[in-house]
Structure formats: structure tokens, C-alpha cells
Amino acid sequence: MISIQQEDFDLAHELQQLRKSCNQMGAFVSFVGLVRDYATQGQVTAIELEYYPAMTYKSLVRIVQQAELRWPLLGLRVIHRIGYLPAHAQIVLVAVASQHRHSAFAACEFIMDYLKTEAPFWKKEYINGQNYWVEAKATDTQALAKWQN
């Protein structure tokens, strides 16, 4: 249900697995994040994703549990890649199945918003032979506000 891995993933395969787990699903929402090929410093050729093995998985479990407490979900899959990833590669998948679309949309966006601000991953961008640690964005922290009232 939650994986942290170097290998790429196949959205179609993951959704098919998710569907098998339950017949009552009516709504599937999925998010896929890709490595963007530009930054303010120039063209990005690749990124490298560092993580904190003992903590990252625990952190994702907690985020998913929060989502499951808030919305009636029927299935869920989170995959986050780590290591060296070229531009346009897939980084992250969050797929949520539920009976009705609202729960699936809300839970998927909730998980992404928390993942972006709480899960210990750090991204370094390779640009013109140099590398730069990506700075956290204030908008990611602001995105949490909508879940906190």
C-alpha cells in the first residue's frame, strides 16, 4: 500500500491492482508527479532524492492513516521514488479509490499536501553540471491550512 523505491512504477498496473481489492469502488483519483525540466537557475537534467529510511515510511503511514480517518476510502496506493531520477521521470504516485468522488479527490490532495511538508525527502537538482538543494516552498506549508479547520 505504501512503497519507497528506486524503481519506476506503472500507474495502469497499480490502478488495476487497486480495483481488484474491492468491488464497490466508483471513483478513482490519482496524482502522478514528474521531474520538471526547468528551475530558476536553468535547465534541470536530473534530480536526486535523499530520504531518512527509518523515518520516511513511518511518516507516510501516519499521513495515510490521517486520510483514512477523515474520509471513507476503499483502496489506496502510495509510491515515492528515491535516488537519481532524470528529467520527466515519475517521482510520486498517490491513488485513492472510494465510492464517491469527493472523498477520493479530497484524500488524494490531502496526502500530497502532507507528503510535501512532512515526509522526509530532500531533492537536489542537477543544472549545467552543478547541483542545488531545492528550497522548500511557502505555498506547500500554506496548502495545509485548508485541512486544518
Using the minimum distance from each CB to other proteins, give the nearer residue, 18 or 49. 49
Using the minimum distance from each CB to other proteins, give the nearer residue, 20 or 138. 138
Report the partner that residue 121 touches, choosing among a copy of itself, other proteins, none (CB closer than 5 to 8 A by kind).
other proteins
Cα 59 to Cα 5, 38, 79, distances in angstroms: 15, 29, 13
Phi/psi at 119 (nearest 5 deg)?
A: -80, 130
- Alpha helix positions (H), 46-100: 53-70
Report the partner that residue 26 touches, choosing among a copy of itself, other proteins, none (CB closer than 5 to 8 A by kind).
a copy of itself
To the nearest whole angstrom, how small is the minimum distance from the Cβ of residue 91 to a copy of itself?
Answer: 9
Residues that bind other proteins (CB under 8 A): 33, 49-52, 54-55, 58-59, 80, 91-92, 112, 115-124, 133-136
Report the partner that residue 80 touches, choosing among a copy of itself, other proteins, none (CB closer than 5 to 8 A by kind).
other proteins
Q: Report angle CA 86, 137, 36 to the nearest 5 degrees.
A: 20
Q: Which element (helix H / strand E) includes 80?
A: strand 73-81
